[in-house]
Amino acid sequence: MRFAAIATLLLSLSFPVEAAVNPRYSAAGMTVDGMICVDAATGAVLSQEKADYPGHPASVTKLMTTLLVLEDIRANKLTMRSRVTVTREATRAGGSSAGLVPGESFTVEEMLYALMLQSANDVALALAVDREGSAPAFVSRMNRRAAELGMSRTTFVTPNGLTYGAGPHDTTTARDLAKLAVALCQFPELLKFTGTKQYVFRRPGKPMELLNHNHLLGSFPGCDGLKTGWTVAAHASMVTTAKDKDLRVIAVVLGCQSPAGAKPEQRLRDSLAADLMTEGLVKLRQLEAEKALRIAQLPTIKPAPKPVVKPKKEEGFWGWLGDLFSF
């Protein structure tokens, strides 16, 4: 019996499958649109549940906005010190904001802190207009990039994820968000923003203290990102990551819903994401150990001896003379 249990556990660690509905939250009347945990280095799936089921990402949408900005920096189209001027369009965003005023300007670095910590919808719009001239043009670019990343079940309609009522809403899946997060983790500078708990956004004459909405920072060892999201229409979602030595996992929880409201949804989201990362790191360590064992068991193959090449004898008189005086 014990052997069978161990064998079942090993199989579950080696072959991720679609999990059954988790009684942990379904018993309380809660639902989740989808979950997944992947290896940040390769994108390999470590665990998943309803990973291809559609949901609305809310402010997790801002991760695509951030990716496009970071890609423009890498392409030398701007720098962290480049200044972004706030337009009137950006100040009409609504929801969570940095209180931007038309005509103000901030560095890209300052805006990325406000985008990641405050989840500032006005900052997302300001960056979108700065990069592509208008929010609709930037959203078109978001969708093109999503297609390039293989996010085949994703459609963006905003740069910030703030939608209302019947929509239209940004739509995606847990698997697609994992693909986006893997691409983002190729930018180590991102983690400076997503891993910061507190930042002072220095608005002229009115500094604003920003607090990161990711409650796993500090409470989960090695957690340094990435983004939370919640709206009435989308409920609670999260893409997060944690590192243990040279191993890193990414966990996605999409669309946590609770009849008790926002706070229980957010607590469930955080708890499920922590569980996914814990289990994911355990699986990665096991896979690394198995890989090391296989390498150690490989037979050692000695290289074949190099053939001895004798110098070619010279023919004729000089060859005869050489043979005569060789001893």
* Active site members: 59, 62, 119
Which residues neighbour 9 within 8 Å (Cβ) at sequence distance 6 or greater? none
Residue reference for tokens 């009409």: 92
Burial of 48 (0-12, 13-18, 19+ CB in 10 A): buried
CA distance 104 to 102: 6
CB neighbours (10 Å) of residue 15?
8
Please count the helices (runs of H) and the strands (runs of E) in the chain.
Answer: 11, 9
CA distance 99 to 203: 9
Q: Are 119 and 59 in contact (CB under 8 A)?
A: yes
Q: Buried (b) or exposed (e) across 220-252, using 16+ Cβ within 10 A?
A: bebbbbbbbbbbebbbbbbbbbbbeeebbbbbb
Which residues neighbour 13 within 8 Å (Cβ) at sequence distance 6 or greater? 282, 283, 286, 287
Q: Are 33 and 54 in contact (CB under 8 A)?
A: yes
CA distance 177 to 198: 25
Phi first, then psi, for residue 249 (nearest 5°) are -120, 160
CB neighbours (10 Å) of residue 165?
7
